[in-house]
Amino acid sequence: MLFATPDLHDRELKVLEEIETAKQKLRHQLHEPRRWVGQLRRQTFARAVQGSNSIEGYVAKLDDAAAIAAGDEPLEATEETQLAIKGYSDAMTYVLQMAGEDDFSYTTQMLKSLHFMMTSYSLGNRPGRWRAGSIYVRNEESGDIVYEGPSVDEVTALMEELTNRLSMENGNDSPAPVRAAMAHLNLVMIHPFKDGNGPMARCLQSLVLAREGVLSPIFMSVEEYLGRNTLDYYAVLAEVGQGAWNPANDARPWLRFMLTAHLRQARTHLVRIRESQLMWIALERLAENRHLPERTMTVMFDAMMGFRIRNQTYRTALERSGEEPITETTANRDLRQLVETGLLEPRGEKRGRYYVAGKELTAVRQEVVRARGKRDDSDPFAS
């Protein structure tokens, strides 16, 4: 027996309608051919990876998360954080790739494979294998047990039930955000692995969402929101779990929390799209007035978003955005020209050299933030 999906009340249905409306707006905006969409997609993926890993205590700056996901060296993330972020980004990339496959199916072996991708950097995690015994979640500060998973003897049957449910639900009329939320809840409550259960549950949720196929998959993820609201995330899991495996508990608080996450994340994306449009218009003017190569708009866009720019990450950003690849020498020349015009400022020396937005780029970003409009963060379930 798994946690059952609550009957949808009028309030849940209304929020689902708002989510769908926001998704359709996103779909329209993202399908138009604009050069900055590739940049925004890359940053959105990095935010999802950063958010999910921050919940587990692997904290990295956004530009480091983007670098690790692209296979580049970060500026300051620890080795353990690098390994965790790389494993998660590889698993997420695989999820986004296989989501559209016609012969896709939910299986326990597929979930074990995702777990192996995430955790294989440490054999102590039992990568790709169910846990071997009982499992307890403890409060890190007090050491108290806050949750006990089901008996290890139940894990295989419960996980098979979960994948069977997902296979039967796939393509039915149940809204994808609801199916994804319940998949997340059931996996994290079963706690089938020795370690990595939270990231696995969030990755599975993203897979269910990506299978819907209505919107570019990375823009359906809510991992950034969960990373920014970790305490609330843990609190609602504790409210629903009540300390031990009991699938008869009411999952409605969890469902409402996740629907709120979807709506707020979609609103965030819409604000960022507006911001990206305004930034790109400003960058086009700057590039034309300063006689800069058009490709430098890519690096200026990242700098305006707070990224620390390096030669390698500049070249990688161009390639990942579909631009023509450039050599290390050309990248150095571009960066030097941006410094000479005051648009970038250098930091560090030799191998530690990187660049940040100069005063003019910073001022442009501030003007864009004022003009883009505010995000609606209201609680859709507030009484």
Provide CB contacts within 8 A for 258, sequence distance 6+: 177, 180, 181, 184, 222
* Marked catalytic residue, from 115, 191, 262, 269: 191
- Quote the pLDDT of residue 211: 86
Provide CB contacts within 8 A for 252, sequence distance 6+: 6
pTM, full prediction: 0.92
Residue from 6, 10, 15, 48 nearest 221 by CA: 48
- Quote the pLDDT of residue 350: 76
Whether 178 contacts 161, CB under 8 Å:
no
The residue ranges of the chain whose pLDDT is under 50 are: none
Binding residue positions for ATP: 195-202, 233-234
Rounded to 10 deg, the angle between the 62-69 and 36-55 helix axes is 100
- Quote the pLDDT of residue 170: 63
Residue from 327, 337, 329, 333 nearest 358 by CA: 337
- Quote the pLDDT of residue 138: 78
**CA gap 187, 158 in Å, rounded:** 9
What is the CATH number that goes with domain 37-268?
1.10.3290.10
CATH number for domain 270-372, candidates 1.10.10.10, 1.10.760.10, 3.40.640.10, 3.40.50.2300: 1.10.10.10
Is 269 part of the annotated catalytic residue set? no
**CA gap 14, 25 in Å, rounded:** 17
Output phi, psi for 110, to 5 deg. -60, -40
- Quote the pLDDT of residue 101: 85
Binding residue positions: 195-202, 233-234
**CA gap 30, 45 in Å, rounded:** 15
- Quote the pLDDT of residue 223: 92
Whether 333 contacts 341, CB under 8 Å:
no
Domain ranges in the chain are 37-268, 270-372
- In terms of residues, how long is the chain? 383
